[in-house]
Amino acid sequence: MQLSSRLGDMKPGVFHALFERRTQLLACNRTIYDLSVGTPAFLPDAHIVHALSEAAADPRQYGYAMAELPELKAAIRSYYADRFGVALSDSEVTSVHGTQEGMAHICWAICDPGDVVLVPDPGYPIFTDGPQLCGANVVTYPLFKEKGYILDFADLSPELCERARVLVVSYPLNPVCARADAAFYRELILFAKKYQITVIHDAAYSDIAFGDEPYPSFLSFPGAMDVGVEFYSLSKTYNFTGARLAFLLGNQRIVQALATIRSQIDYGIFLPIQRAAIAALTGDQSGVKARCQAYQEMAAQLTSGLVACGWPVQASQGTMFLWSGLPYGYRNSLDFTLDLMEETGVIATPGSAFGARGEGHVRFALRTDPSELDKVVAAIAAKREKLEKLAQAAGEEPL
Ligand SMILES: Cc1ncc(COP(=O)(O)O)c(C=O)c1O
């Protein structure tokens, strides 16, 4: 039987393989510290759970939603106005079942087969898989540690820029935990205008950014609405990952194009989830700030613990992850991740899952409490000692 060539060399996600082994280890009563998938260990605030459960108890809420409740659009619009200073009309907002789904479909709305879509390497996998599924020609752009993982437009040849139709950008960036500054966003808009490229900005972690100032929206920079759109997800901000709700906001033509495509393939988001999202966006926001602070503390705790073990970790500027090089003796991140899991019970994600430039690295998700993190560091320290002995035997420096 012949399958679609769209599948290309797409394989089941790495998380499935890790999950299977995790299940086997747990069945053998092994202690597991799962720092792989980026689903927060925090729970949603009580007012969000209450709104969802109240709506879910009402049998009238189970029909096709067809579209967003007007209150949901009003809620996200006023959130963008208050939080980011961005004024949006109803037609500049549409909802999706999470950014993941939105990224999987948006190129159907804005690209033709063969169009060049530029995506970051390292970067989040759906940035590549989504455009590829709709036949776009995905070209990665390199992000360098020495440049703080910020896209340097000088690294893109003018010939490539002329051919490019879409540029996917995301900061704070998963997995490398880097944030961009205002100068970068201004340059991005000038660049997009010069080459008539559509910008898709994924703002999954704009509420988990470390620094004195709250992280801005791409749409808050002059001219952004002319050249692009932003995905804003409730997943990490409100510990809402399983509920699946995000928005595409910004340029009206693009937002409406996606809404039109989705109107043929989807009948709207389950109404109780919409009610919970309204509660999240309009309710008390103190939990959001507190969790950002907690993530920053967890990142610092894990960083200092790992650095003390001689681990090559870089300080995080945001997201719910930590990005690290591989220790002595390893070049392949999947081999390392599997060994780490077997030997210490700590599950991380191999950097290769985030593109060719992610190889040689590993990502830890900050999804545990401080006492557990200490145990993670202790477990990893044992692995480190083993590697040190190996290095000594080989007469080499371990890191
Ligand atoms: C950069 C980035 N974008 C999007 C997503 C997915 O977000 P959602 O839950 O809204 O699909 C994630 C999830 O980890 C992510 O890290």
In this prediction, residue 341 has a pLDDT band, given cuts at 50, 70 and 90, of very high
The winner for highest mean pLDDT among 19-23, 162-166, 312-316 is: 162-166
Last residue of a domain, one of 282, 316, 335: 282
Average of per-residue pLDDT across 305-317: 87
Q: Which structural domain range is residue 212 located in?
A: 46-282
Last residue of a domain, one of 238, 261, 282: 282
- What b/e string do you get for 219-256 counting C-beta neighbours within 10 Å, with b at 16 or more? bbbeebbebbbbbbbbbbbbbbbebbbbbbbbbeebbe
Cα gap 359→154, rounded to integer Å: 24
Average of per-residue pLDDT across 310-314: 83
Asked if residue 381 belongs to a domain, the reply is yes
Give the Å distance between the CA of 204 and the centre of ligand 1: 6
Cα gap 355→343, rounded to integer Å: 26
> Could you tell me if 209 and 249 lie in one domain?
yes
Whether ligand 1 lies within 6 angstroms of the CB of 174 is answered as yes
Whether ligand 1 lies within 6 angstroms of the CB of 349 is answered as no
Ligand 1 atom with the smallest distance to the CA of 234 is 10
Asked if residue 336 belongs to a domain, the reply is yes
Whether ligand 1 lies within 6 angstroms of the CB of 132 is answered as no
Q: How many residues does the chain have?
A: 399
Please report, rounded to a whole number, the percentage of residues in the chain having pLDDT higher than 70.
98
Q: Whose CA is nearest to atom 16 of ligand 1?
A: 174
The CA-atom distances, in angstroms, between 173 and each of 127, 145, 341 are: 12, 12, 25
Average of per-residue pLDDT across 243-250: 98
Whether ligand 1 lies within 6 angstroms of the CB of 98 is answered as yes
> Could you tell me if 303 and 180 lie in one domain?
no
> Could you tell me if 140 and 267 lie in one domain?
yes
pLDDT, residue 183, reads 98
Last residue of a domain, one of 250, 282, 314: 282
Bond into 172 cis (ω within 30): yes
Contact 351, 362 (CB under 8 A): yes
> Could you tell me if 121 and 235 lie in one domain?
yes
Residue 293 in this model has a pLDDT that exceeds 70: yes
CATH number of the CATH domain containing 309: 3.90.1150.10
Ligand 1 atom with the smallest distance to the CA of 124 is 1
Pick the residue with more confidence: 38 or 192? Answer: 192
pLDDT, residue 368, reads 83
> Could you tell me if 147 and 161 lie in one domain?
yes
> Could you tell me if 171 and 239 lie in one domain?
yes
> Could you tell me if 259 and 308 lie in one domain?
no
Residue 399 in this model has a pLDDT that exceeds 60: no
CB-based burial label for 19 (10 Å; 0-12, 13-18, 19+): middle
Q: Whose CA is nearest to atom 3 of ligand 1?
A: 204
Asked if residue 297 belongs to a domain, the reply is yes
Residue 398 in this model has a pLDDT that exceeds 60: no
pLDDT, residue 384, reads 73
Whether ligand 1 lies within 6 angstroms of the CB of 333 is answered as no
Structure confidence by residue, pLDDT tens digits, 100-138: 999 999 999 999 999 999 999 999 999 999 999 999 999
Residue 5 in this model has a pLDDT that exceeds 90: no
Asked if residue 81 belongs to a domain, the reply is yes
Asked if residue 241 belongs to a domain, the reply is yes
pLDDT, residue 397, reads 64
Asked if residue 254 belongs to a domain, the reply is yes
In this prediction, residue 232 has a pLDDT band, given cuts at 50, 70 and 90, of very high
> Could you tell me if 117 and 168 lie in one domain?
yes
Pick the residue with more confidence: 182 or 398? Answer: 182
Tokens 């689903």 label which residue?
39
> Could you tell me if 188 and 205 lie in one domain?
yes
> Could you tell me if 153 and 204 lie in one domain?
yes
Residue 7 in this model has a pLDDT that exceeds 80: no
CATH number of the CATH domain containing 159: 3.40.640.10
Pick the residue with more confidence: 388 or 3? Answer: 3
Ligand 1 atom with the smallest distance to the CA of 319 is 16
In this prediction, residue 98 has a pLDDT band, given cuts at 50, 70 and 90, of very high
pLDDT, residue 152, reads 98
Cα gap 351→361, rounded to integer Å: 5
> Could you tell me if 204 and 263 lie in one domain?
yes
Average of per-residue pLDDT across 368-377: 86
Quote the number of domains for the chain.
2
pLDDT, residue 51, reads 98
> Could you tell me if 375 and 356 lie in one domain?
yes
Give the distance from CA 213 to its chain's centroid.
21
Give the Å distance between the CA of 99 and the centre of ligand 1: 6
Structure confidence by residue, pLDDT tens digits, 173-208: 999 999 999 999 999 999 999 999 999 999 999 999
In this prediction, residue 52 has a pLDDT band, given cuts at 50, 70 and 90, of very high
Structure confidence by residue, pLDDT tens digits, 141-171: 999 999 999 999 999 999 999 999 999 999 9
pLDDT mean across residues, the chain = 93
Backbone phi, then psi, for 181, in 5-degree steps?
A: -105, 175
Asked if residue 398 belongs to a domain, the reply is no
